[in-house]
Structure 1
Amino acid sequence: MSWSLDVAPFFSWPVLALVAAPAVILAALLLLSGTRGAALRVVAIAALLLALINPVVLREERDPLKSVVALVVDGSQSQSIGERKAQAAAAEAQLKESLARFPQFEVRTVETTPTASPDSDATTALFGALSTALKDVSPARVGGAIFVTDGEVHDIPADAQSLGFDAPVHALVTGRPDEFDRRIEITNAPRFGLVDQDQQLSYRVLEDGKGTGAPVDVRVFLNGDLVTRQRAEIGGTGTVTFQLPRAGKNILELSVAQDPKEITVVNNRAIAVVDGIRENLRVLLVSGEPHAGERTWRNLLKSDAAVDLVHFTILRPPEKQDGTPIDELSLIAFPTRELFVEKIDDFDLIIFDRYQRRGVLPTLYFDYMAQYVEKGGAILIASGPEYAGNDSVATTPLASILPAMPTGQVDETPFRPEISELGRKHPVTRDLPGSETEPPQWSQWFRSIDVGTPRGETVMTGPDGKPLLVLNRAGEGRVALLLSDQGWLWSRGFEGGGPHVALFRRLAHWLMKEPELEEEALDAEARGSDLVITRQTVGDDPGPATVITPSGSAVQLPLKQTVPGRWEGVLKTKELGLFQAANGDLRALANVGPVNPREFREAVSTTEKLRPVAEASRGSVRRLAGAEGDITVPRIVPVNGRADADGRDWIGLKTTDETVLRGVDRTPLFAGFLGLALLLLALSATWWREGR
């Protein structure tokens, strides 16, 4: 309860000033004139003025407010190291029990969780959590903050003034004072690189705590495959030279040998994500007999900026004799030896468009082409009636790699190309525009080549379900066989046309081994804090994927079919770092959050990072456990104002003087009988004095 004096005038202050001015002048004249009873008259005038001003006595009923204390418990990934989580839980329980003994404290407990954010590297943001917990509390009511953490905090303010309150901050640090850790850091890595070209990466191995300082082994993995081993000096800089095997995302992983005394091996790995850029794909297109769709392949490949095209058209077979001068037969000679012997390995794809043997290419050259495919090259046969004839390329050494052999029959029955059951799962033909209906709304073709039983994958069919597009692997290379020359009808828009651009482009890129068109593939990618596993297969249910988290635990992730041939699973995760996924013989890597997050760059617990801000706020930093692991939680002591809040075995928390108003009693001094009595007394005293 508190008392105070206030006024509640009956009139506005300007009106009271007009009344008070002559009254004050009259009182002054009475006092100066020495008139008998002047003092009593002045008192009566003053009493009248006070009555108009109406002084009020206020009696306030107030309840004291509690000081708000924030207990912030670090739940970041580094707290899972060793005994830290158990130490934090034990300290939290004891602190809550101690604080419960003080009714003047209101405790707000904040348990932070790991932050898996691709945009932020501040993974242990305890001061952000503190600010959120106290955002509705006035600074005067804050009694202080207690952090239970390993000391590796990433959002420490520059000074105590930035806290927004004047109260002590204490830190109780988990872990042990004799911790040792070895880690590897990538100091310089390219973001992009040309496929099959030398790239360089720099790294260093560091030790925190008391280590041996001896050289250690470093293993280098590229997309999960071991590529080299090195010997590295502690604190020195090492260099790795590597080549990207494919376009798109490539993950380079460096792993340093483990020491038995280390507190964690999570930071014994570091990764770099390098995007592979392929130089323009080189395609050799050889057109045989001129036909209506001769320029279809040329126009398609020329429109692709990623393709360098070399095109030769054989307009006139050597045996044709019509008297045309030799120097007018072609603009340039067909460099057969240069293309098919000397530089054949420079091409990513060779296309024969309605080509037949006419003596232009020696038989030996076809044998070179078969070897070229076996060693990793690619050939597409876009066939016409000549494929069924005696001069077919199927009668050359190419027969050893072709996915289907001709029967010698040409079927000229009109038909609409359809996607086979296998083709609905295959990335080359899956989801082609117009394939949603049965049959697809594509224009008719009018010719197909009959073949025997295919050795590869039939992804499109022609009349009576016969093979139309067959894909196959031969050794390390790939072969595709298109058993019709009618694709140009789609490009011309006949009967509405068809998806010739999508089909032919996918076909060419599958032959050139683009990763996104693989029939059997496993992919992992981060979408925010989620890990998405995608399995492409032309088979049946591939079963669950096994995911290895950055902390080393294994999770079985079920996969659900989203479209034919494509299975997907989503793993909700709060961890940051490199995840490994496996399904059958396939592996995939993906990084969630920042590459090499700060959370594990420095894993050794420390009291030094929080000490400046804690001491500036009159708080303290101390370890919970000694070298033997025994836990000691300091006592809680309430302190006033800016008193010291740190002792040998105790920590202080500030109590507040803030109160909350419950009620107010107002008592006017000149109201009722009291005011009337005072005025009557003043007037009576004046009359009495005059009557003497």
Structure 2
Amino acid sequence: MNWSLAFEPLLSWPLLAAMLVPLALLAAVGLWFRQRGAVLRLVALAALALALFNPVFLDEDREALKSVVAVIVDRSQSQDIGDRTAQTDAAVAGLKERLARFKQFDVRVVEAGKSGAAEERTETRLFSALDGALRDVPPSRVAGAVMITDGEVHDVPAGRPEFNAPLHALITGHENEKDRRVRFDKAPRFGLVGKPLDMTYRVIATDGQTGPVDVRVSVNGQQVAVERAFIGQEMPLQVTIPSAGRNIVELTIPKEDGELTDINNRAIALVDGIRENLRVLLVSGEPHAGERTWRNLLKSDASVDLVHFTILRPPEKQDGTPINELSLIAFPTRELFVDKINQFDLIIFDRYQHRDVLPILYYDYIAEYVEKGGALLIAAGPEYAGPSTIARTPLMSALPGMPTGEVIDKAFYPRLTELGQRHPVTRGLEGSEASPPRWGRWFRTIGIDRPEGEVVMKGAEDRPLLVLDRKGQGRVGMLLSDQGWLWARGFEGGGPHVQLYRRVAHWLMKEPELEEERLTADGRGMTLEVRRQTMSDDPGAARIITPSGKPLTLTLQKSEPGIFSGSMEVGEIGLYQVANGDLTALAHVGPINAPEFGDVVSTESKLKPATEATGGSVRRLVAGTGSDIALPSIVPVRGQAEAAGRDWIGLRTTDDSVLKAVSRVPLFGGFLGLGLLLLALGSMWYREGR
């Protein structure tokens, strides 16, 4: 029973004051002058005042509130090492059982590090989880918190935690754990393709070990070197970036006997390969309407260094002009096609014909250049079908089609072949989905016989229009019309000439994005995305190996012609190996070299300052090398009493309660109040009447 006295006045306080103050003054004057009946008059006034103030006895029925205990369970990936998961599960079950014995505690269990978000799995953020668990709890009701973790917590406050209750930490793992890890100290984000890139790395041992260790260096999954490193020292590393786009540089050290885990024995650096400017040689046989289209396209590309020559004065032209009056630049044939031919990434012959400008032997050099990995594009005009065609030179071995001698002067809409709808050079060209395509017409096609390679576009009478072929290690393309400039001029609405020409040029120069058969994988958050570019109808499923070595299978679905893709949510941060057919790819899911895997040795030191500042404690669940956990006893404490002992931890109880009901007993209510008031007034009247 919680009895208390309260006043519930019948009138407002200003009215009570206006009524009782004058009466009190009259009673005081009577007492001062000792008038007869003054005391009884004061008693009657007091009875009236009590009746108006209406005193009430209140009996409150209250229910005590429970104190809230937060149990924060570390479920990060470092907790999967060894038997830490088993220790954690046993500790959580035992702690729940012990806390259930105390009815004054409300237990909230929160598992941290288990979310699918990559940001939450990158670091162990137990204090953020603690704040979230107690966000709706008043500070007076917080009993304390217990963290079950390996001690590798990355959001420990620098000073005293904003937590006004005992904080206890139960550490999983074992004492004197041994581990080695490797990390990059300096890893540039970008590198030039084919050029050496300087990096540095360091091997770290937790037990103070020194000495040499072998470090295997891999680029895009291929081992390129084995370095000799000294533990604890910053070591230099130089790698060559093999391709444009994303490259994965990986360092791996062997697992040592007795080492805790090898999960951090590898380090990853992502380097975006950037090509130096591509060198293109454009040779125009004679001025024509489409010549500037090629020139403008290549000059507008900041990644291309263009060398352009137009044969304005063939050798057979004799007009009697003295040599010293000619302002033309001599065509440096030997310098371009002998001395520096291998410096070019692409050679384009635009309506070029053999007119003895190039010695016949030089065509053989060009064919050899293609065979060894060079790129050649033939933009054919009527000259290709004429008697001076370059197909009648030693270059014929590199060409994908021989001319029939026909020039079909007939209007047509350029169209994609069935193969071209899947080929990365022509797939998805703007306007190609309509029939006929939403492009302007062309009016000339050069006929060829038995084309080699892949015919991806067709012209008049379904003749080949664009042919792409591989010759040895190099590539050759042939555009069998000189009418592309009509698209550039916007004739009949124009067409995607920039997109088409640029794709053709970059395919010839072996840009990875335009490979017919290509497998790529990427990590977005905790999702692994796989993309397969292929000319086949069904590439099959992708085979995946997780960072821990677990095999997975991912079904690839057709997303567009020539493209199959799939994605899956994964639970591990690290490097995934993806394979499909003969192709392989690597993808890193989650942040690179996340702190979660930096130091995985269990420790008490990181949480000790925070627990001591709150009056709590930090202790290991397993002593020595044993396997049985030892849970401390739970002791309820009040106020600022000590909250930790040798084998026990304390949790505070609260004095807060909630009001359930109130019983009212008026003191001057009913006949009792009326009788007392009449008695007082009657006594006063009787005394003054005598």
By the TM > 0.5 criterion, same fold?
yes
Q: Output one character per residue of 1:9-43: Cα deviation in whole Å (capped at 9) or x when no partner.
A: 12222222222322332232233333455333322
- In the other structure, the counterpart of 2:647 is 649
Residue equivalent to 1:180: 178
Identify which range, 408-417 or 287-296, moves more after superposition: 408-417
Corresponding residue of 1:138: 138
Counterpart of 2:201 in structure 1 is 203
Alpha-carbon distance in 2 for matches of 1:337, 1:596: 52
**In 1, Cα distance between the equivalents of 2:644 and 2:339?**
83
Query: 1:331 offset after TM fit, Å?
Result: 2.3
Deviation, 1:184, is: 0.8
Equivalent in 554, 558, 561 of residue 561 of structure 1: 558
Spell out, residue by residue over 1:221-278, the C-alpha distance to the aligned partner (whole angstroms, 9 max, x if none).
Answer: 1122222211111110111112222222222111122113222212111111122222
Change (3 A) 1:328 1:535: farther
Q: Indicate if the aligned counterparts of 1:533 and 1:569 stay in contact, CA closer than 8 A.
A: yes
Q: Does 1:343 align with 2:340?
A: yes
Per the alignment, residue 585 of structure 1 pairs with 582
Verify: 1:497 aligned to 2:459, yes or no.
Answer: no
Q: TM-score, normalised by structure 2?
A: 0.95
Corresponding residue SS for 1:552:
coil
Using the alignment, how far apart are the partners of 1:510 and 1:264 within structure 2? Answer: 44
Amino acid at match of 1:319: E
Say which SS state the counterpart of residue 532 (structure 1) adopts. strand
Match of residue 675, structure 1, among 660, 673, 676: 673
Matches within 5 A, 1:518-533: 518-533=515-530
The one-letter code of the counterpart of 1:651 is I
- 2:368 corresponds to which residue? 371
Q: How many residues align?
A: 689
CA distance in 1, matches of 2:613, 2:420: 70
Q: Per-residue deviation at 1:522?
A: 1.3
Conserved? CA contact 2:199–2:236, under 8 Å: yes
State whether residues 161 and 610 of structure 2, in contact with CA within 8 Å, keep that contact through their aligned partners in structure 1. no
Counterpart of 1:517 in structure 2 is 514
- Cα distance in structure 2, aligned partners of 1:455 and 1:330: 42
Amino acid at match of 2:59: R
**Residue number in structure 1 paired with 2:534:** 537
Partner of 1:603: 600
Question: What is the SS of the residue equivalent to 2:162?
Answer: helix
In structure 1, what is the equivalent of residue 74 of structure 2?
74
Matched, 1:229 2:229: no
Cα distance, 1:161–1:240 mapped onto 2, change above 3 Å: closer
Give aligned-pair identity as a percent.
62
Q: Is the 8 A contact 2:122 2:591 kept in 1?
A: no
Which whole-Å CA distance do the structure 2 matches of 1:668 and 1:624 have between them? 60
C-alpha contact 1:548 1:580 (8 A) present in aligned 2: yes
- Per the TM alignment, residue 639 of structure 1 is displaced from its structure 2 partner at its CA by 1.5
Deviations 1:521-580 (A, max 9, x none): 111223333221111111231112122333332221111110011111111124333333
- Pair 1:28-2:28 in alignment: yes
Aligned equivalent of 2:388: 391
Q: 1:394 to 1:567 in 2, by over 3 A?
A: same
Give the whole-Å Cα distance in 1 for the aligned partners of 2:200 and 2:541: 37
Aligned partners of 1:247, 1:117: CA distance in 2, in Å?
A: 30
State the alpha-carbon separation in 2 of the partners of residues 661 and 236 from structure 1.
67
Pick from 433, 436, 442 the counterpart of residue 436 of structure 1: 433
d(CA) in 2 for partners of 1:116 and 1:240?
35
Q: CA deviation at 1:217?
A: 0.8
Q: Secondary structure at the match of 1:266?
A: coil
Alpha-carbon distance in 1 for matches of 2:160, 2:585: 46
Give the CA deviation at 1:592.
2.8
Where 1:25 maps in the other structure, the secondary structure is helix
Please give the per-residue CA displacement for 1:360-400, whole angstroms capped at 9, x wherever unaligned: 11122222222222232211011122223333222222222
Contact 2:76/2:121 (<8 A) preserved: no
Structure 2 residue 294 is the aligned partner of structure 1 residue 301: no
Q: Could you tell me which residue of structure 1 aligns to residue 266 of structure 2?
A: 269
Greater CA deviation, 512-521 or 397-406? Answer: 397-406
User: Which digits, 9 at most, give the CA deviation of each residue in 1:83-139, with x for residues without a partner?
Assistant: 111111111111111111111111111122445656678621122122222222211
- 1:44 maps to what in 2? 44
SS of 1:267's equivalent in the other structure is coil
In structure 1, the residue matched to 2:659 is 661
C-alpha contact (below 8 Å) 1:98/1:636 kept by paired residues: yes
Letter in 1 for 2:563: R
2:320 matched residue in structure 1: 323
Distance 1:253 1:96 in 2: 44
- 1:359 and 2:356 equivalent? yes
Larger mean Cα displacement after TM superposition, 399-408 or 47-56 = 399-408
- Measure, in 1, the Cα distance between the counterparts of 2:591 and 2:614: 32
Relative to 1, partners in 2 of residues 1:490 and 1:122: Cα closer, same or farther, differing over 3 Å? closer
2:536 is matched by which residue type in structure 1? G
Question: Is contact 1:116–1:593 with CA below 8 Å preserved after alignment?
Answer: no
Cα distance, 1:687 vs. partner? 5.2
Contiguous gaps of at least 5 residues in structure 1: none
The aligned amino acid for 1:182 is R
Q: 1:60 matched to which residue of 2?
A: 60
Tell me how far apart the structure 1 counterparts of residues 606 and 91 of structure 2 sit (CA, whole Å): 20
Gaps of 5+ in 2: none
Deviations 1:145-164 (A, max 9, x none): 1111111111222344413x
SS of residue paired to 1:162: coil
Contact 2:380 2:478 in 1 (8 A): yes
1:599-638 correspondence runs (5 A): 599-626=596-623, 627-638=625-636
The offset of 1:647, in angstroms, is 2.1
TM superposition outliers: structure 1 runs of 4+ over 4 Å: 115-122, 687-692
Pair 1:391–1:456, CA change in 2 (3 A): same
- The answer to whether the aligner puts 1:171 opposite 2:188 as a matched pair is no
Contact residue 522 and residue 529 of structure 2 kept, 8 A: yes
SS of the residue 1:676 aligns to: helix
Please say which of residues 67-76 and 427-436 is displaced more in the overlay.
67-76
